[in-house]
Structure 1
Amino acid sequence: MFLCGLLWVFAVLCSPTSAYYDPDEVASLPGMSFKPNYRQWSGYLRAICKLRGPVRQMYCIWFHGEKGCRFFHDEHVNDDGATLYENEFSWNKIANVLYLESPAGVGYSYSDDQQYETDDDQVADNNYLALQSFFSKFPSFTQNEFFIFGESYGGIYAPTLSLRVATGGSFKTNFKGFAVGNGITSFEINDQSLIYFGNFHGLFGNELWADLYSNCCENNICNFYNNSSPACSIVSQAFNIVYSSGLNVYALYLDCAGGAGSRRPFHHAMRHHFRAYRKHWQTNQVGGTAVAVPPCINSTAQTNWLNRGDVRKALHIPDILPAWDICSDVVGGHYHTKYETMRDIYLKLLGLGLRVLVYNGDTDMACNFLGCQWFVEALNQKETTPYQQWLFDNQVAGFYQQFGNITFLTVKGAGHMVPQWAPGPAYHMFQSFLSNGSY
């Protein structure tokens, strides 16, 4: 989440009976090779809980990664702990940045009763309470325009939170819009488009593509998502190539950290994909033990730094909390997805006049650009800017198309984590969106 105006790193404490760690300013963080020229805080914010189920305590808002994976991902911390804010393309040069680790149970977020079963709506409620808590403690920021950004499964977190903000709360008048980067917009469209993405990027070969087309298509209309024909189970072969052959699913043209031989499936991330064929691919080529860390991603440096005692102390992390990790297998395994598509929520938000940006690094296979493009087009908004290139540093940085208040944009050569792999173009995109300027 971005608030125009200091860098904020918060935690949200959603329990009046829990220990309360008041947000305090952090001059610098241990292990960094620079001293920030901006102010930053870390700690916990108390929220009044009116939740269904267990009390949540969330270490505060950038939504990132799969369910159960959040905060300080590769985009936010490098080998010496320095964040990507400290470079010429740091987003906090033009906006306050507020991060939230969500849902409870990931990173330094936790639940009092250690019960981590949750769903899309409950996470949105928690996140809304977190935002209320922030504005209650820092009321001057209610005068600032603000935007919500989400990435990956944040494609659900961002619009569901946006709807709550836009339809209630004293700070709703300055909420101007949201952006989703390489995010889930529709499980069906994402899976359907992935087959085309894989084929036209040379992953399947003519023989497999011919079999896919003959067994899953009729009258030139293909159903790769939930086709009831037993012959269409051949989709599992395509699935295995994308997810289990050693390719980096988050960036097709980058190597897989640890090598292809170390590649194991990230089951919680895959459980919504091609569900009609799940039994087939689970009993065939997709083997191995489920792992919490996203495959092909090396998070060792970030994990080591965030678990240093002096770093935890500087961030005001209570000693009772376990070690930080990039993902939580417990949270991922107990998460219930309630929305198959964000279509209705997008339409409601567009009807309220909010600005929306859907952007994709075009080498990502986890949430591929083609699916997001199809999703935006299917909203049936009137085109106002035809599909065309946009530039950064006098080079083609990608392509974009506008439909009134919603923009679809690609970032050329970037994968799942656009700000990490294309910081310059991402900065330009971010600035243009906030200012409602041209790309």
Structure 2
Amino acid sequence: MAKGQVFVSMALALLVFMHVGGIRGEMRGGGEEGDRILALPGQPKVSFQQFSGYVTVNKVVGRALFYWLTEAVHDPLSKPLVVWLNGGPGCSSVAYGASEEIGPFRINKTASGLYLNKFPWNTEANLLFLETPAGVGFSYTNRSSDLFDTGDRRTAKDSLQFLIQWMDRFPRYKTREVYLTGESYAGHYVPQLAKEIVTYNAISKHPIYLKGFMVGNAVTDNYYDNLGTVTYWWSHAMISDRTYRQLINICDFSRLKESNECESLYSYAMDQEFGNIDQYNIYAPPCNNSDGRTNGCTRHTIRLPHRPHPIFRQMSGYDPCTEKYAEIFYNRPDVQKAMHANTTKIPYKWTACNEVLNRNWNDTDVSILPIYRDLIAAGLRIWVFSGDVDSVVPVTATRYSLAQLKLSTKIPWYPWYVKKQVGGWTEVYEGLTFATVRGAGHEVPLFKPRATLQLFRSFLSGQPLPTKS
């Protein structure tokens, strides 16, 4: 069987698996109480409430999205609702955002249980992790063609329908402030969903109280993202002067699919000049497999830099195998039962990323900058941040893209601090705040959790990042 056919067969099997489990979960009924998580297997005792389950966003074809809500540790009724989206396209917010970035728990090395994250974002807000689009994680669709013909527009519209119906299930959130957050290809998802909400609010008697959004290492604009990525490679001595000049002169960075000559140049740069590095954090040592081969990024991944890759790093305070633990933990029948997912025990594997969706993403905006202009005009609070050692969606790409907005500066560039150390640098513009996180890779909260929590606090308060600790 061909490699592509294997992916298709796996996707269809996963489709059936998620469909049956999801329908069973929704038949529980009973509003939010039917979605309450009493406790996850091996979970430490906590004071906050948790809920998870399915919301059907299209009854005609049977598309349903899976969520996990972890409410605020203290006084949740006074705290805002923060929605987190991971990118890919095709990757799970449960696997990444919830389990290795901002959620309250981490999975232990044996995947036998959980331990507490030292810097969870639910100290500041109620966190809603949404697996979108259908086909990601536990989310499902009854129409198999959805897996081979999806993209930005359907993802945004389905996510809006999810929020509308989810708030009917959780009416206490209907008057709560809402913020959208995410990373990587969620640089598309988050602004696009924000625009859908703004449009919906203009005609609805029951608006969603969206106040703003924040995205990290965000895919933003084809041309400037690609130009900024190549510039980052050159300025960080990852490629030669000759290769840099050839890439600049030969490649048309505005195209979704490059010419064969340009693709060959990218391949040469990665295969011959990058060396044995982790492109998602260029200063982290990569991992060698037992046979000596390197766990590196494929050309497809680097040209479409939209999802974290299972690269194993050896760093102080960082466990390199978190994705592996997630794939074991969320395939456990007792975990799925506790989370109201796959209660039929069909033995298909849950995966952190759906490769079929990623390979068949047929609708993508060339640039999100027009949406930024609209949402700035709508008065939303908008923050963009960048881990500065990521070479996949690097800080130069984001700076090139945001520069096209031509915003006036309110507070000029300055270093911001956490625990008496420079956490990064920031500039406040009219309508948007930009910040770097020093020493962080692609998944910023994973590498710099304390600094990122400070960033989140400042974003929620609407105050500039601190000039001193």
Fold in common (TM above 0.5) = yes
The corresponding residue for 1:39 is: 49
User: What are structure 2's unaligned runs of at least 5 residues?
Assistant: 1-17, 68-82, 313-320
The corresponding residue for 2:38 is: 27
Structure 1 counterpart of 2:183, which letter?
E
Query: Do the aligned residues in 1 keep the contact of 2:428 with 2:464 (CA within 8 Å)?
Result: no
Does 1:186 pair with 2:221?
A: yes
Query: Do the aligned residues in 1 keep the contact of 2:278 with 2:284 (CA within 8 Å)?
Result: yes
Does 1:58 pair with 2:80?
A: no
**How many angstroms apart in 2 are the aligned matches of 1:407 and 1:399?**
11
- How far residue 382 of structure 1 moved from its aligned partner, in angstroms, is 1.0
The corresponding residue for 1:256 is: 286
- How far residue 65 of structure 1 moved from its aligned partner, in angstroms, is 3.6
Secondary structure in 2 matching 1:59: strand
The corresponding residue for 2:107 is: 78
Pick from 147, 151, 156 the counterpart of residue 188 of structure 2: 156
Query: Do the aligned residues in 2 keep the contact of 1:16 with 1:46 (CA within 8 Å)?
Result: no
Query: Do the aligned residues in 2 keep the contact of 1:306 with 1:312 (CA within 8 Å)?
Result: yes
Aligned 1:340-379 pairs, distance under 5 A: 340-379=366-405
Query: Do the aligned residues in 2 keep the contact of 1:212 with 1:232 (CA within 8 Å)?
Result: no
Aligned 1:33-432 pairs, distance under 5 A: 34-47=44-57, 49=59, 54-60=61-67, 61-71=83-93, 72-73=95-96, 74-75=100-101, 76=103, 77-79=106-108, 86-115=116-145, 116=147, 117-169=149-201, 170=204, 172=207, 174-204=209-239, 208-213=240-245, 216-217=248-249, 234-240=265-271, 245-259=275-289, 261-263=293-295, 265-266=297-298, 268-270=300-302, 272=304, 294-297=309-312, 298=321, 299-320=323-344, 322-432=348-458
Relative distance call for 1:57 and 1:263 in structure 2 (3 A) is same
- How far residue 373 of structure 1 moved from its aligned partner, in angstroms, is 1.3
Normalising by structure 1, we get a TM-score of 0.82
- How far residue 405 of structure 1 moved from its aligned partner, in angstroms, is 2.1
Query: Do the aligned residues in 2 keep the contact of 1:361 with 1:414 (CA within 8 Å)?
Result: yes
Query: Do the aligned residues in 2 keep the contact of 1:12 with 1:46 (CA within 8 Å)?
Result: no
Which structure has the highest helix share of the two? 2
Query: Do the aligned residues in 2 keep the contact of 1:245 with 1:263 (CA within 8 Å)?
Result: no
Number of matched residues? 398
**How many angstroms apart in 2 are the aligned matches of 1:20 and 1:182?**
39
User: What are structure 1's unaligned runs of at least 5 residues?
Assistant: 1-10, 274-291
The corresponding residue for 1:280 is: none
Query: Do the aligned residues in 2 keep the contact of 1:212 with 1:235 (CA within 8 Å)?
Result: no
Query: Do the aligned residues in 1 keep the contact of 2:19 with 2:140 (CA within 8 Å)?
Result: no
The corresponding residue for 1:284 is: none
Structure 2 counterpart of 1:35, which letter?
K
CA RMSD of aligned residues (A): 3.1
Relative distance call for 1:307 and 1:234 in structure 2 (3 A) is closer
**How many angstroms apart in 2 are the aligned matches of 1:390 and 1:333?**
39
Structure 2 counterpart of 1:78, which letter?
I
Structure 2 counterpart of 1:62, which letter?
W
Q: What whole-Å deviation, never above 9, does each CA across 1:119-150 have from its counterpart, x for those lacking one?
A: 10001011111101111112221211110012
Structure 2 counterpart of 1:313, which letter?
K
- How far residue 378 of structure 1 moved from its aligned partner, in angstroms, is 1.2
